[in-house]
Structure 1
Amino acid sequence: MIQTEKPMLNGTINVDAELINDFRQQGHVLIKNILQADEVAHYRDVINKAVNRYNTETRAMQDRDTYGKAFLQIMNLWEVDDNVKEFTLAKRFAKIAADLLGVEHVRIYHDQALFKEAGGGFTPWHQDQYYWPLDTSKTVTMWMPLMDIDVELGMLTFASGSHLNGFAENIPISDESETSLQKHIREKNYPITRAETMQAGDATWHYGWTLHNAPGNSSEDTTREVMTIIYYADGAHVTEPQNKHQENDRHRWLGGLNAGDAAQSHLNPLAY
């Protein structure tokens, strides 16, 4: 049998200036065909194997709270799996992040697999950066499906332009955030935007302050497989945690660095 070489993701992609402008105005953008079919096939297998190995959720769907029903969340797989590490630290992705943010270099905050099971619940409205004790708004999350998806499987949905007003409310992702932030979105009259379909290897990108949610997975037997990576501009510093979640993040994703320290722990390698 001929052994095929595993695909490396060091080749870079130039992002169209119009897409960069859309990202900065709307707070999110869809970029298509970041991965080719052979690359998707390889890394989908790699990530699925890691998810199966490190997933610790054993509760039946009906026994979970809203957050637990929203998805299986397995974080920082790059730390424990060298094959996933090649995906998470890929220069191709990091260069896109740097271009969108308009910076020379970006670091990894963390990765996370977000697998929404068949029958899984909705993901409440929230802001990712509520959790991050960082002194920069130049943060971005890549959200990449490893399979073709449509709205039925739980498509990421955005409140366009919401990033421009920064921090909205001091609420973690929950039923409370869904109710309160939905009211906030109506009051601010933010347009609600989402793709109807995405192909495996496409990705959406959104700022840390962009409000977003996702519907539940209404399929009967298909798990929505998504891998995400969070980036921030090199040169950022750690801030004093404003809630218990930021304090947890300071320890777990920033290596216990103190407020005022450069956000450059061993967990935050320079990706580009």
Structure 2
Amino acid sequence: MTDHEVEFFKENGWVLLPRLVGPGRVDGLRDRALGYLRTRSRERATLVDQAFGQSRDIAESDEAFHDLAFDAAMGRCATRLLHGVRGVRVQVTNLLIKEPGDDGHGATEFHQDFPWMPMDRSAMLTVWLALADVPAGMGSLRFYNGSHRHGVLGRSFTRDGDDQLTQHPWLKELELSPPLDLRAGDATVHHALTVHGAGANRGDTPRLSFTVTYFDADALYTGTPYKQTDGLGLQVNAPFDHPRFPVVSHA
């Protein structure tokens, strides 16, 4: 990762990292992803389900995705981008699919990732890796530049027509990132406070991606109800010292 990419992320809240994963490795990951996604639940009960399908916590059961998410180089990149943190933990891994066509998934409304989280600080980012070519028309992510500097703006995916742009029309005063054509192995990285979204998949094949979210290793647990952390016995106002949230990198 170059100094320019780090500065771009700091300024805009997102960055494109071309060729993050090499062709041979990403081909293998794509084949594995297709196998998992074929068996996923097809239920579309929530607004999230209508935007994309997913297979959560994939790194817990798949060695190849685990090796990528927990690669020390990935952890060092995340630590460098989250300026001022000593190290990072893995929060969640995910396989995502956005199906094309009239019966496919719709647009992913503009939102922030952080408002749902039970961490006491927002130093968090997500690496979004294209497992196959994702031309802009297939629904690659777009970002409101600098939106991460405006703090927590509230939850989305809670009510129809209540995304971040509806709640905060002034966001349209910010520059929207250009449509991105991603090749397999390219990745975008965005801060958990960056407002982002994606259009529907207008292509002929599914949009396939793998995501891993990293957060500040020194973050404290707030006790906010959250499905992933409920019942783990985490102590409020203490670090996330639990096998589910291992430290990947120390500065």
TM surpasses 0.5 = yes
Aligned to 1:177: 162
8 Å CA contact 2:88–2:217 kept in 1: the answer is yes
Aligned to 1:7: none
Taking the aligned partners of 2:233 and 2:181, their CA distance within structure 1 comes to: 40
How far off its partner does 1:83 sit?
Answer: 2.9
Q: Which runs of 5 or more structure 1 residues have no equivalent in the other structure?
A: 1-14
Question: Does 2:136 correspond to 1:136?
Answer: no
Among candidates 118, 121, 131, match of residue 106 of structure 2: 121
Aligned to 1:159: 144
Judged with a 3 Å threshold, the aligned counterparts in structure 2 of structure 1 residues 177 and 264 are, in CA distance, closer, same or farther, namely farther
After superposition, where does 1:1-272 map in structure 2 within 5 Å?
Answer: 15-53=1-39, 55-57=40-42, 59=43, 66-102=47-83, 103-119=85-101, 120-172=105-157, 174-178=159-163, 180-182=164-166, 184-186=168-170, 189-219=173-203, 221-241=204-224, 246-251=225-230, 255-272=232-249
- Name whichever of 65-74 and 116-125 sits farther off: 65-74
CA displacement 1:196-215 (0-9 Å, x = unmatched)? 30111111111111111100
**Which structure has the highest helix share of the two?**
1
CA displacement 1:127-179 (0-9 Å, x = unmatched)? 1011211112211100111111112111101111111111012444553332x
Tell me which amino acid in the other structure corresponds to 1:229. Answer: V
Tell me which amino acid in the other structure corresponds to 2:71. Answer: A
Please, what TM-score do these two structures have when normalized by structure 2? 0.89
8 Å CA contact 2:165–2:172 kept in 1: the answer is no
Tell me which amino acid in the other structure corresponds to 2:187. Answer: A
8 Å CA contact 1:114–1:227 kept in 2: the answer is yes
Taking the aligned partners of 2:218 and 2:109, their CA distance within structure 1 comes to: 31
8 Å CA contact 2:124–2:215 kept in 1: the answer is yes
Where in structure 1 do 4 or more consecutive aligned residues deviate above 6 Å? none
Judged with a 3 Å threshold, the aligned counterparts in structure 2 of structure 1 residues 248 and 174 are, in CA distance, closer, same or farther, namely same
Taking the aligned partners of 2:159 and 2:31, their CA distance within structure 1 comes to: 31
Taking the aligned partners of 1:133 and 1:93, their CA distance within structure 2 comes to: 23
8 Å CA contact 1:124–1:173 kept in 2: the answer is no
How far off its partner does 1:35 sit?
Answer: 1.1
8 Å CA contact 1:94–1:106 kept in 2: the answer is yes
8 Å CA contact 2:111–2:155 kept in 1: the answer is no
Tell me which amino acid in the other structure corresponds to 1:127. Answer: Q
8 Å CA contact 1:159–1:185 kept in 2: the answer is no
How far off its partner does 1:264 sit?
Answer: 2.2
Taking the aligned partners of 2:118 and 2:8, their CA distance within structure 1 comes to: 26
Taking the aligned partners of 2:75 and 2:179, their CA distance within structure 1 comes to: 23
> Among the aligned pairs, what percent are the same residue?
27
Judged with a 3 Å threshold, the aligned counterparts in structure 2 of structure 1 residues 248 and 95 are, in CA distance, closer, same or farther, namely same
Taking the aligned partners of 2:92 and 2:47, their CA distance within structure 1 comes to: 23
**Number of aligned residues:** 245
Judged with a 3 Å threshold, the aligned counterparts in structure 2 of structure 1 residues 56 and 183 are, in CA distance, closer, same or farther, namely closer
Taking the aligned partners of 2:30 and 2:171, their CA distance within structure 1 comes to: 40
RMSD over equivalenced CA pairs, Å: 2.0
Judged with a 3 Å threshold, the aligned counterparts in structure 2 of structure 1 residues 21 and 66 are, in CA distance, closer, same or farther, namely same
8 Å CA contact 2:143–2:194 kept in 1: the answer is yes
